Amino acid sequence: MGRKITTIPKAPVGRILMKAGAKRVSADSIDAFTEILTEITEKIATQSAKIAKHSGRKTVHEGDVKLAAKQ
């Protein structure tokens, strides 16, 4: 099986898990964490774009992202 291309790079995801206190991190855990992070960030991105559009803008601003993340 070939390598799966992801939007979020796996190396930083592994570092996040290590920084959180993991001594070792399996490839499967990095894959699962990457998949979950991608789902969450895609939802926030979609909501951010909706907020910007609702405000009559094409550009997503910092406040849009912060508001979307709180929802």
Question: What tens digit of pLDDT does each residue of 3-37 get?
Answer: 567 789 999 999 999 999 999 999 999 999 999 99
Burial class (CB in 10 A: 0-12, 13-18, 19+), 10: middle
Determine the Cα–Cα distance for residues 18 and 37; give it in Å rounded to an integer. 16
State mean pLDDT over 54-70. Answer: 97
- pTM recorded for the entire structure: 0.82
Determine the Cα–Cα distance for residues 24 and 9; give it in Å rounded to an integer. 18
- Structural domains in the chain, sorted by start: 10-70 (1.10.20.10)
In 1-71, which ranges are continuous DSSP H helix? 10-19, 27-54, 62-70
Residue pair 52/58 in contact (Cβ under 8 Å)? The answer is yes
